Amino acid sequence: MGDMKFNMKIDKKTANYFQKKMPHKLTEAKKRAVEAMGKVWADETKTLTRDEKHLRTGLYVNSIGTLTNIKPAPGYDAVPATKDDVVHEIVDSGGKTILKIGSNVAYAGYLEKKFNLMARGLDISNERMQKVAKTQIKETLFG
């Protein structure tokens, strides 16, 4: 699956101030914002997977971004996800904070190609992602 990008910019004047005075706060704010956005994205993708009845054993949906324990579809046995099934890696490099998020189950790529669950989850959650990111930045820098 290819990369999906979501850009969130901090006001240049604010970023410069915190970069000079408290760079650790700026790094923390970016990380918290990206983490919050990723949670919203994963949650929306899990909801799509459940609502559109792509959820069978629970393995895929319970592995998207974070470990969860959503019940499988009626008539299916639950297959619990493990940490190895989850894709959730955050890297701060070159002034960018990048979160890799998704599912590492064998058929995740197939589901994405066929149903675009992660891509549609991103589209649907875009507005909410921006709100949670702004909240995290404000609380971290000014709270």
Cα distance between residue 57 and residue 105, in whole Å = 12
Per-residue pLDDT for 1 more than 60? no
Cα distance between residue 88 and residue 101, in whole Å = 5
In the prediction, which pLDDT does 84 show? Answer: 96
Q: How confident is the model at residue 6 (pLDDT cuts 50, 70, 90)?
A: low
Per-residue pLDDT for 4 more than 70? no
pLDDT tens-digit series, residues 84-136: 999 999 998 887 888 999 999 999 999 999 999 999 999 999 999 999 999 99
Percent of the chain's residues with pLDDT above 70: 94
Cα distance between residue 46 and residue 60, in whole Å = 9
